[in-house]
Structures are given as C-alpha cells and as structure tokens.
Amino acid sequence: MPDQWIPPVPAWSADRGDRSSLAIAYYGVQHHTGDSRDSEASFALLRHGPDAPDYIERGRFNDLAGFVNEVFVCYWRDTDGHARFANQSAFARWFADDALLSGDVGVWVEAFRIPMSRFETLFSTQCPAGAARLTDNPMTGPIDEHGYWGGMRDRIPASDRDELSSALDSAPSIADQTETRGRRLVLAVRTGVPDGSGQRHCSAIAGRKSHATGY
C-alpha cells in the first residue's frame, strides 16, 4: 500500500471468521430457446440432499451469440461437503449423463475450493453478498487496501509471504466435453452488486459440457 494512502471512497471486507477454507461453484445452463425447464430441473437438484450448498445466488442473461444463460452461484462452508456433492449428489449424476451432449442445452461448472488465506472480498457497502452470506459476522472496515494498483493482492493474507506466481501457461482447448483442473494458483474474480446479479460470462454452447476445477 502506498505511504500515507487515503482511499478515494469507503469500502469493506467480509469477516472470514475462523474458517480455514470454503468452496464456490458456478453452475451454468445455456440454451437457444429460452425454455427454462432444464434450468428449473437443475436448480431443483442443486437444492437437494444433505450436502446441498449453504447459499445459492441465481442470475440470467442473454449473451452476444443469442444464447439464454442461467447461472447458479453456490457456496459451501465445508469443502468436504462440496466434494461429496460434486461426486455423489443427484445433480452430479445429472451432469455426468452423456445424454446432455446430444441435446440443445449446454451445461458447465466452475468449482473452486479456496483456502481462506488466499481469499479476499471488497464491498462498496456493508450489505453482504456472495461468500459474505456464509457468516453472521459484521463487515470489517472501512479498510484502506483498495483503490490503488496491487490493492487486491494486499487484501490476500498469503501475499505477505508468497509471490503468488502462476505456472499456468495457456488456456485449455475447447471440445464437446471438457474437464480442466486448475494448477496451484488460479485467479477467479467475481464482480457484481449486492442483489446477486454478478457479472459472469460463459463460453459453453448447446450440446457441450465443460467442467473447470480449481484447488
């Protein structure tokens, strides 16, 4: 942080509490027609079972290619619970069904299991959204670590002892069915406003499944 830095506007950060990690997964359903039956079916499966997400946000947008996209952002306090959900739930069985490859619906998942030492948040108000909903603790702040180059890095606790360098050289190629596992350092940025309408963009198309996992 620059010497004698004064932020241009106030900002707050979520209190992480005593948790050591959390899991966040983005589930997307993409289609041409605007028929929401597949989206509603997947949403029902997301909420089902003992390891269902602790909190879910939902968004909808039309992309530049004309596809209708439904995105569900799911949060778990317990990464083990997410791992069980990702492998054993009714939703996992639905997602693994190859019948999805022959239809007119594309689905994708981006899942991250994040150590809290490598997680940061920044809010322009004290209204919690996203992962901040996983705790009842009040927001921390106003904080100074924002509004300058490197502010995000300074908000990551691990940055005081780790350069956070990435070994990732290139993006994965696109195929009908894709699974990509992140290396040690993968940066995921979610931006949006407290009403849950986070800005996300997806590259799946109808008849395609993709799955990205970061650890």
pLDDT in tens, the chain (215 residues): 899 999 999 999 998 778 889 999 998 888 876 566 666 777 788 888 899 999 999 888 888 888 888 889 999 998 999 999 999 998 888 888 887 777 777 888 889 998 988 889 999 999 888 888 888 888 999 999 999 999 999 999 888 888 877 666 665 555 555 555 555 556 677 665 444 433 333 333 344 444 444 33
Amino acid at 54: D
Length of the chain: 215
Give the list of residues 6+ apart from residue 105 with CB closer than 8 angstroms, or none.
Answer: 29, 30, 31, 38, 206, 207
Neighbours of 182 (CB within 10 A): 18
Asked if 200 and 190 touch (Cβ cutoff 8 Å), the reply is yes
Identify residue 108 by its one-letter amino acid code.
W
Q: If you search the block for the tokens 């993709």, which residue do you land on? A: 210
Q: Which two tokens stand for residue 113?
A: 């299991």
The amino acid present at 79, given as its one-letter code, is T
* Angle (CA) 194 25 88, round 5°: 140
